[in-house]
Structure 1
């Protein structure tokens, strides 16, 4: 789900918004995130110290020169690199959501003349994008419920016993033979 937490018209460095975004997350969900997966733009020293004070991990590259690989730290460095890779891949759908908004719903080309109309337009676009996600979730839940209902009905229906079916077939054949002799 995408949220519009801050909307401004002046060009500015977004890297200073991390603290406000983390606090908006805490206000929305009631707790701080375990990890922040963000662009390298948000990996400044101030942001990292804020995250460290709140026991939040930053899922970006460490600052400074990469440490020299030695036999003692090789396993730890490989583990950290392997951990960063899936976290980086989690960022791909987020960037895709930005692209969907910009090019699929024209967030990069708002043509409203007044600021309040532009805000309404932008929020409406995010509402539509979130509604489409919810529709997909509800369709998946409906399909899952239908599969469960089908499975439960199949399990609760009386099963055919192979012996009883063979007996029924032979009794029908005997009745047919008796009628036509």
Structure 2
């Protein structure tokens, strides 16, 4: 408790506290082994037996990191109730490390498609080819342009898109042209690409705020993935409803030939429904 209450404990105090806690867990696990040798583990419930296995693995990982004086290990467990969760380093101010599912999705004309779900951290740049191939599988052709974040604009992804005639968003590699007019057009196009890419960020923000994607209450990995898929399905259904509503309004306006003075009233109702 003395170490936890400190905002920034020294390295030596942290190692001393970890050594003591590892000693306590080692002692308790030894007692459990002695009891199991005599009476067995049949008296434990399914949840207790699972937690015991998870705690044993956590002890092994922490002891290995303590002995090697390292802070990284493959498949590190940070939650006993949800051992599938992994820490993901994001580097954001206030929350440098996040915990949860990592999703690679594509926003096509306002509709979201989940291309990959993983609880383990990975580099998103390796998913661009896979997502473009899935787009081709859905629509039969490659996309005309891909609006992606800077992490996707690797040299390999640029060459892959160039070979297939796909325009990847962002400024090209190398020095900017000396021609001011051409340089201005490039900056204008890059700015428009960033504005188009905001759609996928806004969709994730809306999913977290309105549909509780940022706070999943499920415990199992399968149920969490199912909940995320259901949230995306509901958002796409909401987009279909809005598109059908706009088509209905346009058809009604054309059939009745409503004058310009009635436009604000009708559009106001459409915005309220949205």
Same topology, TM > 0.5: yes
Q: Which residue of 2 aligns with 1:130?
A: 236
Give 1 or 2: higher strand fraction: 2
Q: 1:150 aligns with which of 252, 256, 260?
A: 256
Report deviation, 1:113. Answer: 1.6
Q: 1:57 aligns with which of 167, 179, 182?
A: 167
Q: Which residue of 2 aligns with 1:34?
A: 144
Q: TM-score, normalised by structure 1?
A: 0.76
Which of structure 1's runs of 4+ aligned residues deviate more than 4 A? Answer: none
User: Does the 8 A contact of 2:216 with 2:224 survive in 1?
Assistant: yes
C-alpha deviations, 1:59-111, integer Å up to 9, x for none?
112234x33x53xx222222222222222211122210011112321222222
Gaps of 5+ in 1: 153-181
User: Does the 8 A contact of 2:171 with 2:186 survive in 1?
Assistant: no
**Structure with greater contact order relative to length (CA < 8 Å, sep ≥ 6):** 1
Give 1 or 2: higher helix fraction: 1
Q: Which residue of 1 aligns with 2:123?
A: 13
Equivalent residues in 2 for 1:96-175, closer than 5 Å: 96-151=202-257
Q: TM-score, normalised by structure 2?
A: 0.51
Alpha-carbon RMSD across the aligned residues, in angstroms, is 1.6
Q: Which residue of 1 aligns with 2:95?
A: none
Report deviation, 1:22. Answer: 0.6
Q: How many residues align?
A: 148
Between the aligned partners of 2:188 and 2:254, the Cα distance in structure 1 is 37
For the pair shown, which has the larger CA radius of gyration, 1 or 2? 1
Report deviation, 1:121. Answer: 0.5
Between the aligned partners of 1:48 and 1:121, the Cα distance in structure 2 is 34
Gaps of 5+ in 2: 1-110, 259-274
